[in-house]
Chains A and B, each alone.
Chain A
């Protein structure tokens, strides 16, 4: 019984060791851990490893120089954000959802009943055909040259506003969701050509595009 309590005590202390090492344990708790460590070689080894971990975490050489704060950009964002968004106004979201539901309902009625379809030719307007070209989401399959490192893959995308990495469908191919301010097909071609001219990118294919909701 006594041994079991001692064992539990050791496990409890063991879980607390990281905070013993980073010096954030409170007085009595710290004292308790300290006493245990002094008499437990296993915990002494753990403390040594944890001190190495702390040192490694603090001296991570991969962290680059910190850039200068972009205070002006932040202040511009704040100015655009005024007035503050609290309390949250949820009516626009409800109104948007109701509008979408109404449109879908009408569309279903039209599909189900050809008599309701307009006689004249239906004309579809794309988001890119108007003067107010918007940001659009494209799902692209980007194939990298074999052996391209993860860092180089990331760097290849840094020039673009990649919203989401959807999936890695096969080795060396990423599916990405990318947001582009494209106002014409020529623009789109230019962007894909830019991507394909990157040394690590073998090919770019557009799989789908998502129209913004207006």
Chain B
């Protein structure tokens, strides 16, 4: 089975040793780290930006920061959490600059307009995920795509654990509402 979460499970000790070598400017170690993280970072950034070009550029920007900041890694989190924290900040910086273009990808109107019967529940959830506000969408990606714990998610997004839990709660509630609406497409007209 295709298991993207499995991709994330790296050998943290190996990655820590690579990062320690990167901190002393070992380019071979950096190359290895880059190859390990490139596909995951690309998919992560693409999910948030929906742009191939931006994702391709951002991965290199993120890894450049990894190179510059490797010596500041203290080992109090997994290497993946640290790198995805950088990825999160770089992506949010870019996304906030391009908010007006990226926002339409949250295709809420289309979700509401589609005929529920014509879509599988999975499709609805996928469309619903894209309709969530950025912060909630990102939290869902971190938790369900990268498989982060709530502490790791809080660290990556640099916000309190309770905020992470609340974002997931609201994301679930919104998706549930969409599913309920899709199951009863005529609910509103019946009421009227």
Contact = CB atoms under 8 A, between A and B. Distances in A.
B122 interface: yes
Contact of B47 (A18, A63, A73, A75): A63
A15 interface: yes
Interface in B47-89: 47, 50-53, 56, 59-60, 63-64, 67-69, 71-72
13 contacts: A16-B165, A18-B144, A22-B149, A24-B148, A25-B149, A49-B172, A58-B4, A59-B2, A60-B47, A71-B31, A154-B50, A154-B102, A165-B101
Given A58-B144, A78-B67, A165-B99, A24 B149 contact: yes
B156 to A, nearest CB: 13
Interface of A: 14-16, 18-19, 21-25, 46, 49-50, 52-64, 66-67, 69-71, 73-75, 77-78, 81, 84-86, 149-151, 153-154, 157-158, 162-165, 167-168, 174
B107 to A, nearest CB: 8
| Chain B binding surface SS class | helix
Given A15-B166, A57-B141, 7 more contacts: A18-B144, A23-B147, A56-B125, A71-B34, A81-B68, A154-B51, A158-B51
Nearest to B167: A18
B129 interface: yes
Given A19-B149, A22-B143, A66-B39, A57 B129 contact: yes
B184 interface: no
Interface residues of B, number: 63
Contacts of B52: 64, 67
